[in-house]
Homo-oligomer: A and B are copies of this chain.
């Protein structure tokens, strides 16, 4: 069956509802924090639900912040605070102190894929200081060990991110991995306005750079929380979607009533088949991104860093 690509569980859930698919095994909650800030939770509870959604079992929390693509310090501070709460909720570690490895995925040299590396630039890193001077260097009873790595992309390293991170985990034994990555959405209106936090890690085919292997508790042996912001839409997706709307419009339009005879009967698969024939094969290697992506990535990476700093450095100044 045809699959429109999106890394956002929220979009998949919406699409399923549109298509009247039965979502047994999937729970959905929505909380309006304020006029411009909504937090939605999709919980995929069963293997059945996972199959229907095309995403692994787990919790997917989405912060939708309609003005996040704009400059507004107070608003971004509020988002960082909400993000910190979400991270704390999903991390639910019992240990007094934890050791966290933050992984900045993506390619620093491609603007919309640079989110992960740039988040890491602004983190408050403590592991080496605690290792050398003890946690009392921070004048606090409880300090988490924060470390970070930017594994780079395969064309530059010759290695999968998974290989590098597995190795680093073996040597430094963190309790928790935070993987930050730029995502692909289905709709341009979500770009740079949505943060997804999940406890399922990063899974094959997700992210702007389309990871081939997953980074999750199963592959790494440590819980993995992933944080992502959609910064691109696949070019094929955007064309597909608009064309799908066109075909749908044509089948419903009164002006084209006579077409009803033929188009009306097309099911989804047939519609997509019709579309596919017209699509340039080049589109598969292309993405769509906003023109002001540099400013957005700069701002958003800072907002995520702050969320992480708040979540893990609480009580330390």
A188 to chain B, nearest CB (A): 4
Binds B, one of A13-21, A57-65, A160-168, A222-230: A160-168
Contact with B along A146-169 (1 / 0, CB 8 A): 111110101111111001101111
Any chain B CB within 8 A of the CB of A33? no
A117 to chain B, nearest CB (A): 10
> Which residues of A in the span 273-313 have a Cβ within 8 Å of any Cβ on B?
274-275, 277-280, 282-283, 285-295
Any chain B CB within 8 A of the CB of A107? yes
For A170, list chain B residues within 8 Å (CB): 167, 170-171
Select one of B129, B168, B292 contacting A164, CB under 8 A: B168
- Give the docked Cα–Cα distance between A56 and B189 (Å): 36
- Give the docked Cα–Cα distance between A34 and B256 (Å): 49
Select one of B242, B263, B290, B293 contacting A243, CB under 8 A: B242
Any chain B CB within 8 A of the CB of A109? yes
A108 to chain B, nearest CB (A): 9
For A239, list chain B residues within 8 Å (CB): 238-239, 242
A317 to chain B, nearest CB (A): 9
- Give the docked Cα–Cα distance between A211 and B171 (Å): 18
- Give the docked Cα–Cα distance between A145 and B159 (Å): 11
A159 touches B168 (CB 8 A): yes
Any chain B CB within 8 A of the CB of A218? no
User: Contacts A170-B167, A258-B258, A290-B286: A159 and B128 contacting too (C-beta < 8 A)?
Assistant: yes
B155 touches A147 (CB 8 A): no
Binds B, one of A42-50, A84-92, A196-204, A245-253: A245-253
For A3, list chain B residues within 8 Å (CB): none
22 of the cross-chain contacts (CB-CB < 8 Å) are A110-B291, A111-B111, A125-B157, A125-B158, A128-B154, A128-B155, A128-B160, A148-B156, A149-B157, A159-B168, A159-B171, A163-B172, A164-B171, A167-B168, A187-B280, A188-B280, A188-B283, A191-B286, A209-B291, A249-B278, A250-B259, A258-B262
Seen from chain A, the residues whose Cβ lies within 8 Å of a Cβ on chain B are 107, 109-111, 120-121, 125-129, 145-150, 152, 154-160, 163-164, 166-172, 187-189, 191, 208-209, 233, 235, 238-239, 242-243, 245-247, 249-250, 255-259, 261-263, 274-275, 277-280, 282-283, 285-295
Contacts A149-B164, A289-B289 known; 20 new A-B pairs at CB < 8 A: A145-B158, A147-B158, A155-B295, A167-B171, A167-B172, A189-B282, A191-B286, A209-B291, A235-B288, A243-B246, A245-B278, A249-B278, A250-B250, A256-B263, A259-B259, A283-B288, A285-B290, A286-B289, A287-B289, A288-B288
